[in-house]
A and B are shown apart, each in its own frame.
Chain A
Amino acid sequence: MPALAFLAALFFAALIDNGARSLVPPGGAPWFAYYQQLATDPFYLRALFETVALAFVTTLVCLIIGYPVAFYLVRHARAGRTLIIFLLISPLLTSIIMRTFGWRAIFARRGLLNASLQYLGLIERPLDILNSSASALIGMVHVLVPFMVLSIAAVLEKIDPRIEEAAEMLGASRLQTISRITFPLSLDGVASGAILVFMLAMGSFVTLLFLGGGSLQTFPLLIYQQFNTTRDFGMAATMSNVLMVLAALLMFIQLRLIRRSGVT
């Protein structure tokens, strides 16, 4: 099968090649030297922590703000359904540069937000929102929340609404029904959405580059910078390999979930 051969020759070979580069430093340094540096240098440890922490927080925020939207989409929307899906997908097709540019225009010192707040007299001096971890997080959530909504909606759609009706007839309040019945039943969608968002968040760097302003140093950002300026390719390869292993781990969990729920 040519597709498989293509992937083997290009994708897997490249990843293995990358792994090999990270294992064996040039110039006779011992194997695993890069990993040793990664595991002992506080700078890299902190970057690893920030990579995972940012992905985690992004996933959590996406889940919290995305779940109600998915719920509405499946349980309430009628004519507006196509419009909602359209509105969810269209940002995915705008360039990442456009969205980053938009957030910069909103958060800048003379941006829309500061100008509005000053106009309303709520603040005297412009706030420094841009280039903080907050603006980076907002940018990340904005990019990734549609994936969460669509993943959850796909599973909610399969839940029979009569189960919810039964719960309410038995005297459960709306909130009780959602928290005790619907949410537990939709955990598969939550999990697959969370894994997807986490995976994408872990690998993104454009949003961080233009909205984080160095407040967060994650692995993808460091790979970009080391490729760009310091040209420390070995270390960049090592970080790529760590990201790859994390991604493989997530994919493994994802596959287990799919098997369990019987959807392939």
Chain B
Amino acid sequence: MIRRRAHPLWLAYLWLFFGFILAPIAIVTIVAFQAPGFVAFPIEGFSFKWFEKALTYKPFLDSLVTSFQIACLSTLLALLLGTPAALALARRESRWADAIVTVLLSPLSVPLIVVGFALLFYLSRAGLGTSFIGLLLAHTLVGLPYIVRTVIAVYRTIGREMEEAGRMLGATRWQILRHVTLPLIRPGLIGGGLLAFLISIDNLPVSYFFSSVSTVTLPVVMLSYIESSFDPSIAALSVIQLAIALAGLLVIERVWGVRMLSQSI
């Protein structure tokens, strides 16, 4: 297909659009390096002190540890729950299989604030209200559909031949899973897992409801911090988070290609 040269207006529009998309992110990055303790333009002075403050402010650090634990564990749990389901369903072509996939993906369609609110009261009855376990279960629930979706997508692109060859060579079901299927779907596991991890790390609407002294995550602490003060340490912290997320995105791109990612979001 011959791609025509775009009219200059297209390009102007595209610049404008990405200017809009990137503006707040760029501004936060600039503000993070400013000297004054309040956000006002024009900016006066340059400083690293907000990074220092962000990295030494204890509530940030403590909650970062919690966030990290929750994100790692919930991603792992979601992988353990989601992968077998995805493998079992990806190649079935029946109404039932379709229906089950729909059910497994349905948490994506319900607003997270509703999920968080409903789960808190539900888990409270089981004595898991604002506990670490409760928060972990909630995050696992949020991450699960992303894993299911990406693993199904990847598994469907792989032919049956490899697994059949393994079977003919006398491998047991477990050996086929361990040595054939899992290595083949690894991009899906990594991509879906990273997505679930990043979504968990950034999750606010669900984490908010489960916050207590021992279970408060970084976004919740940041939320309550900017409710009271508007100093650049939040900006500095955001820049650090962005750097981590971009590193993750680069990893996905390397392993998988960014186009796959655009299909999974």
Known: A88-B21, A93-B245. A236 touches B117 (CB 8 A): yes
Task: Indicate whether A112 reaches chain B with its CB closer than 8 angstroms.
Answer: yes
Within 8 A of B (CB), among A220-264: 220, 223-224, 227, 233, 236-237, 240-241, 243-244, 247-248, 250-251, 254-255, 264
Task: Indicate whether B223 reaches chain A with its CB closer than 8 angstroms.
Answer: yes
Within 8 A of A (CB), among B1-38: 1, 3-6, 10, 13-14, 17-18, 20-28, 31
- Docked pose: A237 CA to B185 CA in angstroms: 40
Contact of A94 among B18, B25, B81, B103 (CB under 8 A): B25
CB of A6 within 8 A of CB of B81, answer yes
Chain A 4-31 per-residue mask, 1 if CB under 8 angstroms from chain B, else 0: 1011001101110110010000000000
- Docked pose: A14 CA to B238 CA in angstroms: 33
**How large, as a class, is the contact surface on chain A?**
35 or more
Tell me what chain B mostly uses at the interface: helix, strand, loop, or mixed: helix
Stretch at the interface among A33-41, A42-50, A141-149, A182-190: A141-149
CB of B241 within 8 A of CB of A104, answer no
Stretch at the interface among B49-57, B172-180, B201-209: B201-209
CB of A233 within 8 A of CB of B121, answer yes
B205 neighbours in A (Cβ, 8 Å): 203, 205-206, 220
**How large, as a class, is the contact surface on chain B?**
35 or more
- Docked pose: A240 CA to B118 CA in angstroms: 8
- Docked pose: A72 CA to B241 CA in angstroms: 30
Task: Indicate whether A78 reaches chain B with its CB closer than 8 angstroms.
Answer: yes
What distance in Å separates the Cβ of B22 from its nearest Cβ neighbour in chain A? Answer: 7
Chain A 76-90 per-residue mask, 1 if CB under 8 angstroms from chain B, else 0: 101000101111111
Write 29 A-B pairs (CB below 8 A) sorted by A numbering. Answer: A3-B148, A7-B104, A14-B119, A14-B122, A15-B114, A15-B118, A18-B118, A76-B3, A76-B4, A76-B6, A87-B21, A89-B262, A93-B202, A94-B242, A95-B219, A96-B219, A98-B24, A98-B25, A99-B24, A100-B24, A100-B226, A105-B39, A146-B21, A203-B110, A236-B117, A240-B117, A243-B114, A247-B111, A247-B114
